[in-house]
Chains A and B, each alone.
Chain A
């Protein structure tokens, strides 16, 4: 059998595939963070909690309202995104003129409140969310058994990432957004409602987190703490990619998934730290991140 650095080719291919899937997931989460930071300059530490809310909302919707997975995939991001709009209107707007650090602390506080409240109501063990029937089973790729649901996660995450990148970088709406954050006064003079644009952007970033949450619900136990463990990794991805760079977030997300996957084969003990090692290296060599613009 062909070996790659002591690992059979089939196993190696399987690990690359899994790395890519995890990477797509990281990309989706870091994309939301990058959109919010890039356009609003808010370091959204509540992103993990909003992702968790997405998964929880999907679970509760199924349990109490009988709303199935496919409907949840559309509805939950809308509902959680609307909550994001409320948060932006009520609190974030009031500190918009202050240093970034205040936004970070405020959103971190929000995340702790959300998490603590849900822990008190639901406990920490979490519950399971059934995989939708159409996506049960798996494909035999020859080198591995790929559960259909994971393949779907890869496709769905990539489609949303590319779509978001396209809207922001290639459409008129995206141009307004970028211009609005560069020079709000000028845009307002042109008759563009900049505060509304900002509110909607935050809501959209939050909706992306919630979408990732719904995607994650059948994969991991739905628990109030599911976001906090992931958030740090996702932040590392955003820093490596360059804070605020949309393309950077997506490409780095995919790359980090692959690097982490390979570490799991060759030196599993380091799998949780390898991303941070990369982050240190990148910060030393390119402080603005791989795709970031020097300030």
Chain B
């Protein structure tokens, strides 16, 4: 009988354990939490997000312990080739065949907007780290995505305002001739004029352009104190390099870069970028916490992280904590949990997620160091001032987002 009783007892224990386990798993839609990383892995935006961002995501998963609520976390990735079509098709496949729980990364604004529309129909969740367009949480907002690192609003607000405050009241705009450039130019114009400055001229150059000498000559002829660069990536790099060759700064004018990443400055070198003012969401060397994380990242990747790559880690960690806390992977429950928790980590100060999906946090005005000031290959910025979270981003009172009750 003893034997039977033992068998019975262990059967009950086993049954109970199975029951407990399955009740825990019942909250998760399948036996894995699946995160898809979608970004430009081979083109223009590769270095600011790309494989480095994927590595940051994997770091977050490893630091979290590799599993959540008893299920393992699986990470996979795809190259969107900066095409909205490719990005949307990839994510559609992820939803249909892989039952993806979170789409992370995303750089080109067109891709982010296409993917977030798709996720709204399918009921998924995305955290956008690389895109610039502020429309992503304005007219294109959905309950299915969160915008993490920065957008065009603080870029204009931060850099342009600071430059005008320092006496740079006449501007010549060098604008990339497509939607992003026009939007940034409009934002900058508004900020400059509101702060008592004036736009005295400008030129819209084709995207992309390799030779900027002609435009720089026009900027020099304009007599403006500030030459504002409303472009990005290789265009900005080329424009700055050319300005340096033509002695633009030496002849008394100053450049204001509106969207510049750490890898751009690193590529150009301090000789041609020194003194450049820019707005950033994060800088690796800004405090002890950020340095500690950045050095771990550096060991794995071999370069210092951009704000986008750091943002991928930060947002993934916040997401995993929310899944853990809410005990489910259901997108709206997780989003609600994420929004209910302040975002305070090595990346974000005073951060929280607003109802329009904007992760609002402190932004920074930085100045590129001179070669003499710099002590190493990646010692590139001096943080000049902090733009407080609530002043940096577009206020909800001006929002056109359908989720916001004005």
Binding site for B on A (CB under 8 A): 8, 10-11, 14-15, 18-19, 21-22, 116, 119, 123-128, 130-131, 138, 144-145, 147, 149-150, 219-221, 223, 225-226, 229-230, 261, 264-265, 268-273
Say whether A145 contacts B206, CB under 8 Å.
Answer: no
Instruction: Report whether A145 and B220 are in contact in the complex, using a CB–CB cutoff of 8 Å.
Output: yes
**Closest Cβ neighbor of B267 among chain A residues:** A125
Tell whether, in the assembled complex, residue A219 and residue B206 are in contact, meaning their CB atoms are under 8 Å apart: no
B402 on interface, CB distance cutoff 8 Å: no
For residue A233, which residue of chain B has the nearest CB? Answer: B210
- Listed in ascending order, the chain B residues whose CB lies under 8 Å from chain A are 42-44, 46-47, 50, 177, 203-206, 208-211, 213-215, 217-218, 220-221, 234, 237-238, 241, 245-247, 251, 263-264, 266-269, 271-272
The answer to whether A119 touches B205, judged by C-beta atoms less than 8 angstroms apart, is no
- B221 partner residues in chain A, CB cutoff 8 A: 8, 10-11, 14
Bound complex: CA of A15 vs CA of B245, how far in Å? 16
- Decide yes or no: A145 and B215 within 8 Å by CB, A221-B234, A271-B209 being known contacts: no
Known A-B contacts A15-B214, A138-B246; A145 and B251 likewise in contact (beta carbons under 8 Å): yes
Q: A11-B218, A15-B217, A119-B46 are in contact. List 18 more A-B contacts (CB 8 A).
A: A8-B221, A14-B217, A119-B42, A123-B263, A125-B47, A127-B267, A128-B267, A128-B268, A128-B272, A145-B246, A145-B247, A219-B241, A221-B234, A221-B237, A221-B241, A268-B204, A268-B206, A269-B177
Output the least CB separation between B311 and chain A (Å).
18
Q: Which of chain B's residues has its CB closest to A222's CB?
A: B267
**Contacts A268-B204, A268-B206 hold; do A219 and B245 have CB atoms under 8 A apart?**
yes
Distance between Cα atoms of A149 and B244 in the complex (Å): 12
8 residue pairs A–B, Cβ–Cβ below 8 Å = A123-B47, A125-B237, A128-B267, A145-B220, A219-B241, A221-B234, A221-B238, A272-B209
Q: Which residues of B have CB within 8 Å of A123?
A: 46-47, 50, 263
User: How far apart are B259's CB and chain A's nearest CB, in angstroms?
Assistant: 14
Known interface pairs A116-B42, A138-B247; A271-B205 also in contact (CB < 8 Å): yes
Determine the distance from Cα of A249 to Cα of B71 in the docked complex, in whole angstroms. 65
Alpha-carbon distance A149/B272, docked complex (angstroms): 15
Q: Which residues of A contact B237 (CB under 8 A)?
A: 125-126, 221
Which A residues are CB-close (under 8 A) to B238?
A: 220-221
> Of A18, A124, A125, A128, which is within 8 A of B213 by CB?
A18
Residues of A within 8 A of B267 (CB): 125-128, 221, 223
Least Cβ–Cβ distance between A121 and chain B, in angstroms: 11
B247: chain A residues within 8 A (beta carbon): 138, 145, 147
B205, A150: Cβ atoms closer than 8 Å: no
Contact B245–A150 (Cβ < 8 Å): yes
User: Bound state CA distance, A273 and B209, in angstroms?
Assistant: 11
8 Å CB contact of A229 from B208, B217, B271: B208
Q: Is the CB of B269 within 8 A of A128?
A: yes
- Report yes or no: A124 in contact with B46, Cβ–Cβ below 8 A: yes
Which residues of B lie under 8 Å from residue A22 when comparing CB positions?
A: 211, 213
CA distance A230 to B44 in the complex (A): 15
Taking CB atoms, residues of chain B closer than 8 Å to A271 are 205-206, 209, 214
Chain B nearest CB from A60 CB (Å) reads 15
- Chain B nearest CB from A128 CB (Å) reads 5
Measured between C-beta atoms, what is the minimum distance from A117 to chain B in Å? Answer: 12
Instruction: Give CA–CA (A147, B237) in the complex, Å.
Output: 18
B205–A268 contact, CB under 8 A?
A: yes
- The reply to whether B214 and A261 form a contact with Cβ atoms under 8 Å apart is yes
Distance between Cα atoms of A264 and B206 in the complex (Å): 10
B214 close to A18 (CB less than 8 A): yes
One of B44, B210, B214, B220 near A226 (C-beta < 8 A): B210
Q: Which residues of B contact A125 (CB under 8 A)?
A: 47, 237, 263-264, 266-267
Contacts of A116 in B (CB 8 A): 42
Residue pair B214, A264 in contact (C-beta under 8 Å): yes
Least CB distance, A40 to chain B, in whole angstroms: 28
B273 to chain A, nearest CB (A): 10
The chain A residue sitting closest to B303, CB to CB, is A123
Q: Which of B43, B203, B268 lies in contact with A124, CB distance below 8 A?
A: B43
Q: A22-B211, A123-B47, A223-B234 are in contact. Are A144 and B203 (CB under 8 A)?
A: no
Chain B residues within an 8 Å CB radius of A18 = 213-214, 217
Please name the residue on chain B nearest to A230 by beta carbon. B210
- Interface centre among A8, A221, A270, by most chain B C-beta atoms within 10 angstroms, is A221
A273 to B177, CA, bound (A): 13
